[in-house]
Amino acid sequence: MRVAVLVEPGRIEMEQRPVPTPAPGDVLIRVSSVGVCGSDTHYYRHGRIGSFVVNAPLVLGHEAAGTIVGVGESVDPSRIGQRVSIEPQRPDPDSAETRRGDYNLCPHMRFFGTPPIDGALCDYVTIGAEFAHAVPDTVSDDAAALCEPLSVGIAALRKAGIAEGVRVLVTGAGPIGIVVVQLARAYGASEIAVSDPDESRRNQAHTHGATAALDPTTDELGCDFDAFIDASGAHSAVTAGIRALRPAGTAVLVGLGAETMELPTQLIANRELTLTGVFRYANTWPEAISLVESRRVDLDSMVTGRFPLERTAEALDSDRTPGSVKTVVAVS
């Protein structure tokens, strides 16, 4: 099979490798679409994200969909031919985190495209059968792949307590920020303010449901928000968002920023704010697929670039194109 391999920072090479064999409990999936994530581009350019370091050739890609073409022992063979969205995780079923339902926090997690685990920028992958989620024919291959970033947004909104009538501030209008905006609208938020210095991204946020799109360099963010979700990782955005919360409000950090940052701890204490983070997701795929199928969330509209597998390097650099929101690699 064809495989796009990160051999060193800034260099992708195409290789031929054997098609993997599904282990007991696994399914073999012919990959159709793979979304490009900011973590993929960071590994591509810098070779590491924090403590995750690319020390050997690595296949990137964790936002993926495809069709089941083979099954391992103990998996119902009737699943062959099923279109699926891939939840790209292999937690240890015996870890304390997995047993209590927080399998995304499993310390022994094997996650697609995270060193040293290969991802989905190739023709075929295997995954545990329970992590291959069937999608209806009304959901496109691209949207099925993008259920992964949608799941990040679902995890964030669950933490933030977004519900009918809530006022929410979102900083960062990249792909996750746009997903969060769509979800907040679907969940009934009464006000969805988005802050981003890039005009094209502010316009995208407005198109996807933001009630206000603000330029943090010139506009006041306002105050008394019930919830704040940071999808930027920028220190200035995090501190401004925290200051914009009402007493007893909730801040959720999603964006990958600096390893440490200074926060207004006295304000957090005096307002009794809840400050938490999101690391991937758990138990989100059924809701993600339902939201897409019901058209309450439109993932296809976020796709601004598509490349074949052989042009993976161009796909990884496409985020530098003005107006880019989400790029997809069309594998098959």
- Residue 63 and residue 165 share a domain: no
Let me know whether 236 and 123 are in one domain: no
Q: Which of 256, 215, 251, 258 is nearest to 232 (CA)?
A: 256
Same domain, 116 and 6: yes
Tokens of 282: 């758990």
In a domain, 283, yes or no: no
- The domain that holds 17 is classified in CATH as 3.90.180.10
Residue 254 lies in a domain: yes
Given a contact cutoff of 8 angstroms between Cβ atoms, the answer to whether 44 and 10 are in contact is: yes
Whole-number Å distance between alpha carbons of 271 and 134: 44
Residue stretches of the chain with pLDDT short of 70: none
Q: Which two tokens stand for residue 50?
A: 């924090």
226 belongs to a structural domain? yes
Shared domain for 180 and 115, answered yes or no, is no
Position 96 scores a pLDDT of: 98
Q: What is the pLDDT of residue 50?
A: 84
Radius of gyration from C-alpha coordinates of the chain? 20
Whether 291 is in a domain gets the answer no
Residues 197 and 95 in one domain: no
- Give the model's pLDDT for residue 323: 86
Q: Residue 221's domain spans which residues? A: 150-277
| 44 shares its domain with 59 | yes
The pLDDT value recorded for residue 256 is 79
**Residue environment code for 264-292, b if the CB has 16+ CB neighbours within 10 A, otherwise e:** eeeebeebebbbeebebbbebbeebbebb
Q: Count the domains in the chain.
A: 2
Q: Are residues 177 and 255 in the same domain?
A: yes
Q: What is the pLDDT of residues 56-92, one digit of tens each?
A: 999 999 999 999 999 999 999 999 999 999 999 999 9
Q: Is residue 134 domain-resident?
A: yes
- Within-domain flag for 290: no
